[in-house]
Amino acid sequence: IRAVLGYKAFQEGLANYMKDHAYSNTETYDLWSAWEKSSGLPIGELMASWTEQMGFPLIKVTKETWEDDKVTLELQQVWFLANGSELTEEEQKKKWTIPIMTISDAGTQSDMTLMREQKATVTIPIKSKDGWVKLNANQEVPMRVLNTPEMLSRLGTAIQDKSLPPSDRSALLTDAYALVKAGHLGAEVLLKLLSNYEKEDSYIVWVGLCETLGGLDAVMSDDEEMSARFKTLAKKIVLGLLSQVGWNSSPEDGHLTVLLRGIMISLVSSFCYDDESVAAEAKTRFGKFLQDANDVESLPSDMRTSVFKIVLKNGGEMEYNQVLSYFDTATDNAERKHVLSSLGHTLDPKLKQRTMEWSTSGKIKLQDFFYAMGSVGRSNKTGREISWQYFQDNVQLIKDMIGKGSPSLMDACIVMCAGGFCSKQKADEIDAFFEKNPIPSSSRKVAQTTENMRANAKFLQQLQASELSKAEFWNSL
């Protein structure tokens, strides 16, 4: 609302509202009315469309006309459904009063268009015929935007040279990811867009990158060939960040750099653990940690889970036992969680099985044992199978362990052991298991888990039917 009004009208209207209604009751429209008076804009109409109906819109660019110094876009608004469900005839009539704010290579546009109907046309100045334009500048409006492939291709340059602000660089990616999942955008368009972020160094953008990389990795892991190709691309992007941020902190680091390094180390453990320099660095830091667990310079606490994962993925039983032994010597529960969250990431199936058995041995606090299960269940495809099979074989043992404890503990076990699959067949199998072995307090969690699983299975099928199934596509990135 502040972006629509501008700072002056926003502050003036709010001040008048507080003054006019001091020591009295108000209704929502009183605030809208105050802002209408300060700005001359139909704020009541605008806000009613956002607060009096469910959901938020998707703006589709249905046609674009590029000229030397401007581009004209034809827009259409529809109700956005994340699962891509078909809209009923009545649902198709829903509409919002949408502020259309834009940014292009010619700068942020001061003129705002209010889209009151389901279709609208906007004309935006650009510097040249090769210019770019982005709708929803600075992500001020809670909506998704479906750009054309041509628009996204042009925006790739603005991502690479960072002429597009961080909030917009992040939003382009998260919008594209959500739209691919909903079936509105081709997966190959998303991957081509993703390849533009190799030199990205903004924390805000990396939050979006982390969500996208992690989400795609989780779904693609059920297709080993596609997963391997995706990990190669992700590794290239993450190593680019590592070269900019590095492992070591500096007194000059701002708080966003500290947060960015945390994201980077986590992604390195997922996508770059097999890189020689990464594996060597993790091994060196782990060696110093074994000599002195209090050496926070060599291995800060916020790096420990990730470094443990890298060491475990590159090591064997010796490294596994070294990490496990720290659980017994650590005096702080937060430190023990580093072990619980990493141990199952060993690549050895026998050690994964051992981790599952340890999780129910009684050696872990009741409120924490599911973290060890999750480290197996969320480690890779093999880990998912091991954790789910262990849960089925030991469901009574787990019930007895939890006893009269919080139902949320059983919910967590179910999610950790069964929630990572991306298969309709597995969803059916899990539903069938809980029909034969009902846990009434967790019935809703089971339903949510298998519903999400079926959605991910549908998403994976969509990816497999796209250009992503072809080696030449990945080679072109």
**What does the pLDDT average to over 95-124?**
92
- The per-residue pLDDT for range 21-53, each reduced to its tens digit, is 999 999 999 999 999 999 999 999 999 999 999
If residue 212 lies in a helix (H) or strand (E), which one and from where to where? Answer: helix 203-220
3-state secondary structure of 429: helix
Neighbours of 151 (CB within 10 A): 20
Asked if the model's pLDDT at residue 320 lies above 90, the reply is yes
pLDDT in tens, 391-418: 999 999 999 999 988 999 999 999 999 9
Whether pLDDT at 18 is above 90: yes
Burial 443-461, CB ≥16 within 10 A → b, else e: eebbeebbeebbbbbbbbe
Element (H, E) at 214: helix 203-220
Strands 57-66 and 98-100: unpaired
pLDDT at position 112, please? 86
One-letter amino acid at 209 equals: L
**Half-sphere exposure of residue 230: CA atoms within 13 angstroms, side-chain side:** 27
Task: Count Cα atoms within 13 angstroms, Cβ side, for 348.
Answer: 15
Query: Ramachandran region of residue 403, left (φ > 0), alpha (ψ -120 to 50) or beta?
Result: left
145 vs 147: CA distance, rounded Å:
6
Residues 268, 242 contacting (CB under 8 angstroms) = yes
- What pLDDT, on the 0 to 100 scale, is given for residue 259? 94
Mean pLDDT, to the nearest integer, of 75-91? 95
pLDDT the model gives residue 405:
84
Q: Which domains, ranges and CATH numbers included, belong to the chain?
A: 2-51 (no CATH), 57-185 (2.60.40.1910), 196-476 (1.25.50.20)
pLDDT digits (tens, 9 = 90+) for 337-387: 999 999 999 999 999 999 999 999 999 999 999 999 999 999 999 999 999
**Please, which residues have CB within 8 angstroms of residue 245's CB and are 6 or more apart in sequence?**
201, 257, 260, 261, 264
DSSP lists the bridge partners of residue 73 as 64, 122
For residue 179, give the nearest of 105, 84, 101 by alpha carbon. Answer: 84
Residue 69 burial class via C-beta count within 10 angstroms: exposed 0-12, middle 13-18, buried 19 and up: exposed
What local confidence, expressed as pLDDT, does residue 92 receive? 94
* Backbone torsions φ then ψ of 88, nearest 5 degrees: -75, 170
R_g (Cα) of the chain, nearest Å: 26
Compute the mean pLDDT over every residue in the chain, rounded to the nearest whole number. Answer: 96
pLDDT digits (tens, 9 = 90+) for 424-457: 999 999 999 999 999 999 999 999 999 999 999 9
Q: Cα–Cα distances in Å, from 17 out to 39, 308, 368?
A: 13, 56, 50
Residue 129's pLDDT band (boundaries 50, 70, 90)?
confident
pTM of this prediction?
Answer: 0.93
Are 203 and 263 spatial neighbours (Cβ–Cβ below 8 Å)? yes
The sheet carrying 102-104 orders its strands as 107-108, 102-104, 133-135
Helix (H, G, I), strand (E, B) or coil at 371: helix
User: What is d(CA 218, CA 420) in angstroms, rounded to the nearest whole number?
Assistant: 7
> What CA–CA distance (Å, rounded) separates 371 from 12?
51
Confidence of residue 130 (pLDDT cuts 50, 70, 90): confident
Please state, in angstroms and rounded to a whole number, the distance separating the CA atoms of residues 425 and 34.
56
pLDDT of 180: 97
List, in sequence order, every residue forming a beta bridge with 104; answer none if it has no partner. Answer: 107, 133
Distance CA 409, CA 403 (A): 10
Terminus-to-terminus CA distance in the chain, angstroms?
39
Query: Which pair of structure tokens corresponds to residue 154?
Result: 């042009």
Interaxial angle between packed helices 369-377 and 333-342, expressed in degrees from 0 to 180 and rounded to the nearest 10: 30
| 79 bridge partner residues | 57
pLDDT interval class at 108 (50, 70, 90): confident
Instruction: Report how far residue 468's alpha carbon sits from residue 430's, in angstroms, rounded to the nearest whole number.
Output: 29
User: Residue 264: is its pLDDT beyond 90?
Assistant: yes
Amino acid 404: pLDDT: 82
